[in-house]
């Protein structure tokens, strides 16, 4: 079975397949604000689904990395938008830890703050991350979605698309992969490319995070998709996504540094969104959690505060490990606080001497 070659001009609106330097006014009147997900925009609460997956935990203090630990985890697999109607964390019991090293709840929307470390009956709950989850609503037409972006963002996207068309001498070609046989081919093509990316250089590439056997297992259940942007016969950028109901979840993305000045990652996501809007099969593209990078901020329509939790069995080994993680987090917070105090002190020291005295000003 061959992968699909997507001709992007088939689903791009006419206004975006040509020079758009003379764009008319925003059809929405104003730029749509990036906002938290309203409750009415999601379906009613649904039973939670779990899968077994390899989890990679990075041990670090800020940018100083000490290593990575890989373990088998039972991970929440319910589509993130469906989780928004659940007021509390999913119920996790000691029996859920049987046969695995840990239970993982990734980027879950929570209504209250949780302690970093908490001891539950037979378990240890560790809150490993607290930040923002980013989603793109796939509703309506792609042209309408683009008009919700700021004029400057639209022009930047249009310029990057034009530059890529000029590079390849026509419309961009995106290869789509699904099913076990196609995803095996996708993995073979993308693995060498992933090693070239910045994620691969720090040991967080495709082969370290998403193992081949797991991808093939997910693909056999029609829960995996692969997308490659090509320049001639050379892969320039890729995205590995998982299917969770009507949500497409981005797991890995990367690009060949050789094409960096042509923004292949942004170009791939731009034309992939055009395809998703045209197909109408998914309601959301989930960009997962993290910091608000320019890449995500360009496309995102919803930002949701969320937390990631790990549950370990309450035994001496996991207990020591959880306490070690707690110590690292505490040291990281103290390091951030010290850095902020040093920066404030330096700013204060730069001021003229007399401005530090009470009521005195230089004349």
Q: Tell me: the pLDDT tens digits for 90-101? A: 889 999 999 999
Contact 311, 125 (CB under 8 A): yes
- What phi, psi does 43 have (nearest 5°)? -75, 165
Quick check: 1 pLDDT over 60? Answer: no
Highest mean pLDDT among 141-155, 292-306, 328-342 belongs to 141-155
pLDDT of residue 3: 62
In this prediction, residue 15 has a pLDDT band, given cuts at 50, 70 and 90, of very low
Other Cβ atoms closer than 10 A to 217: 17
Mean pLDDT of 108-132: 89
SS3 (DSSP) at 240: strand
In this prediction, residue 80 has a pLDDT band, given cuts at 50, 70 and 90, of confident
- CA 126 – CA 175 distance, rounded (Å): 40
In this prediction, residue 48 has a pLDDT band, given cuts at 50, 70 and 90, of confident
Least confident of 34-43, 152-161, 173-182, 308-317: 34-43
In this predicted model, which residue has the larger pLDDT, 73 or 332? 73
SS3 (DSSP) at 335: helix
The pTM assigned to this predicted structure is 0.75
- CA 237 – CA 264 distance, rounded (Å): 6
Quick check: 28 pLDDT over 70? Answer: no
Mean pLDDT of 213-237: 93
pLDDT of residue 37: 41
The angle that helices 264-279 and 151-168 make with each other, rounded to 10 degrees, is 100
- In the chain, % of residues over pLDDT 90: 47
In this predicted model, which residue has the larger pLDDT, 171 or 25? 171
pLDDT of residue 82: 75
Quick check: 242 pLDDT over 60? Answer: yes
Q: Which two tokens stand for residue 108?
A: 């879950």
In this predicted model, which residue has the larger pLDDT, 73 or 11? 73
Contact 234, 246 (CB under 8 A): no
Q: Which two tokens stand for residue 102?
A: 């840990």
* Mean confidence (pLDDT) of the chain: 81
In this predicted model, which residue has the larger pLDDT, 217 or 345? 217
In this prediction, residue 313 has a pLDDT band, given cuts at 50, 70 and 90, of very high
pLDDT of residue 2: 53
- CA 285 – CA 301 distance, rounded (Å): 10
pLDDT of residue 12: 53
């Amino acid at each position: 079975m061959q992968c699909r070659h997507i001709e992007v001009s088939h689903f791009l609106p006419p206004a975006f397949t040509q020079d758009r330097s003379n764009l008319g006014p925003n059809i929405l009147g104003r730029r749509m604000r990036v906002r938290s997900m309203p409750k009415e925009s999601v379906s009613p609460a649904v039973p939670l689904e779990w899968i077994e997956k390899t989890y990679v935990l990075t041990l670090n203090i800020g940018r100083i990395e000490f290593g990575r630990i890989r373990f088998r985890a039972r991970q929440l697999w319910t589509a993130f938008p469906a989780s928004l109607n659940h007021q509390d964390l999913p119920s996790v019991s000691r029996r859920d830890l049987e046969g695995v090293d840990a239970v993982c709840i990734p980027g879950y929307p929570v209504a209250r703050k949780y302690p970093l470390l908490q001891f539950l009956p037979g378990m240890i709950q560790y809150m490993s991350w607290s930040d923002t989850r980013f989603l793109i609503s796939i509703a309506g037409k792609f042209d309408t979605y683009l008009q919700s972006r700021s004029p400057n963002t639209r022009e930047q996207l249009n310029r990057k698309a034009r530059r890529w068309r000029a590079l390849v001498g026509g419309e961009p070609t995106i290869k789509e992969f699904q099913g076990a046989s196609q995803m095996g081919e996708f993995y073979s093509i993308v693995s060498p490319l992933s090693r070239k990316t910045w994620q691969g250089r720090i040991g967080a590439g495709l082969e370290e995070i998403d193992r081949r056997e797991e991808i093939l297992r997910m693909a056999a259940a029609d829960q995996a998709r692969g997308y490659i942007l090509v320049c001639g016969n050379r892969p320039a950028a890729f995205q590995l996504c998982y299917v969770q109901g009507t949500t497409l979840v981005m797991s890995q993305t990367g690009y060949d540094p050789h094409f960096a000045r042509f923004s292949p990652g942004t170009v791939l996501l731009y034309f992939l969104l055009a395809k998703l809007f045209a197909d109408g099969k998914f309601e959301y593209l989930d960009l997962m959690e993290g910091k608000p990078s320019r890449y995500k901020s360009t496309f995102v329509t919803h930002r949701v505060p969320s937390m990631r939790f790990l549950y370990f069995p309450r035994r001496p080994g996991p207990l020591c490990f959880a306490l070690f993680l707690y110590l690292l987090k505490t040291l990281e917070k103290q390091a951030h606080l010290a850095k902020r105090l040093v920066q404030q002190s330096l700013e204060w020291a730069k001021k003229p001497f007399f401005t530090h005295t009470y009521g005195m000003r230089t004349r």
